[in-house]
Amino acid sequence: MKMMDIFSGNRILWTLLFLLCCLLCAAGDETVTLQEVEGTTITLHTGITGIQSDAQILWSYGHEKAEEKILNSQVFKGEAVTEISERFKERLQLDRISGALTIRNISRNHSGVYLLQVITGRISSRTFSVSVYAPVSTPVIIKRESRSVVSTEPCSPLCTVENGEDVKLSWYRENERISITNNTDLSVPLNLPLQIQHHDNNTNTYICVSANPVSNKSSSLNITQLCDHLHHHLSEQTERSHILLPVLIPAGVVVLLILVLLYIWRKKEKQQVSERTEDLMYSDVKIITERFNKEEKPRTTRGEENQTVVYSEGGVNPVTKT
């Protein structure tokens, strides 16, 4: 009985040490991050070679922690027996030599944490964080109808795409990204307008790109295709300017000459009016002066005629007749 108690106590001790070792190994294990496209086949490579033929290989899975056992392979009577959970039935394939796990036709529901444990005399472990994304849709470029009838307004095409996890929508001009948008509300499609100014007519190609971490799709915009009214307006302007330029230059010279002649004529007319005004003023002054002289001269004569000069010894005294 005592020997059995001692053996049982040692077994418990060894089990505790074994579990502690497992925890330390798991705590020090680095997590491998993988990002994959839905519907593809991926392999979780362990980096282990030459696993013992009698080793137990255990794979676990969970959205945040690997708590669900999805594969358990161990040797029983010299033969390897592998059990796979119903959730991953027909999807998993195990490499007994390296412990690598292949997952076929992976879906977004399979995103999460995968843990490998190789149990021999000790436990070796590897942790994988797998993110599965749906492939992005191809963006569609549409022409927004303007309420204005003015053809010279900027062209504003709209790029739209179905939203998804970590999907971003961008506009590129050449190799330069000029705008980007995303939305955490996956029920709302992503829309990104592009405003093309008139001075951009030399850059004919724009690219709208939808992308997530594992895939991307693009659509090209040619201004002459979608923004035809802008291109047509610019072409008409250029053609009109080439046609009117030979006509406008002589017409401008003629108009300038007419303005110069009109200015000279107006200036001469003002001078003539000024001279006539001065002549009229001089004539009026002369007439008034002559009239004044004519009126003053008779009065003086009559006064002189009424005076008689009387000579006396003391001098000459005027005497007025009565």
Provide mean pLDDT across the span 228-233. Answer: 51
Extended strands (E) in 77-214: 79-84, 92-94, 101-103, 112-119, 123-133, 140-143, 157-161, 168-173, 176-181, 190-193, 205-212
Quickly tell me which residue has 């998993």 as its tokens: 92
> Alpha-carbon distance 83 to 73, whole Å?
6
May I ask the CATH architecture of the domain 140-146+153-224? Sandwich (2.60)
Instruction: Please name which of 126, 119, 101 lies closest in space to residue 55, comparing C-alpha atoms.
Output: 119
Tell me what pLDDT residue 4 has.
Answer: 42
Provide mean pLDDT across the span 86-108. Answer: 94
CATH 2.60.40.10 fits 29-133, yes or no: yes
- Strongest mean pLDDT among 23-37, 43-57, 104-118, 297-311: 104-118
Say whether pLDDT at 8 is over 90.
no
| Residue 43 binned pLDDT confidence (cut-offs 50, 70, 90) | very high
Say whether pLDDT at 321 is over 70.
no
| CATH 2.60.40.10 domain extents, the chain | 29-133, 140-146+153-224
pLDDT > 70 fraction of the chain, expressed in percent and rounded: 63
CA distances from 248 to 68, 242, 255 (A): 85, 10, 10
Give the H/E segment covering residue 88: none
212-225: pLDDT as tens digits: 999 999 999 877 76
Tell me what pLDDT residue 97 has.
Answer: 92
Greater confidence, 1 or 100? 100
Cβ neighbour number for residue 227 with a 10 Å cutoff: 24
Say whether pLDDT at 122 is over 90.
no
Greater confidence, 253 or 297? 253
159-214: pLDDT as tens digits: 999 999 999 999 998 889 999 999 999 999 999 999 876 656 556 689 999 999 99
248-290: pLDDT as tens digits: 777 778 888 888 888 888 888 777 777 666 666 666 656 666 6
For residue 215, give both structure tokens. Answer: 């895939």
Tell me what pLDDT residue 260 has.
Answer: 82
Q: Whole-prediction pTM value? A: 0.58
126-142: pLDDT as tens digits: 999 999 999 999 999 99
Tell me what pLDDT residue 26 has.
Answer: 44
> Alpha-carbon distance 108 to 127, whole Å?
19
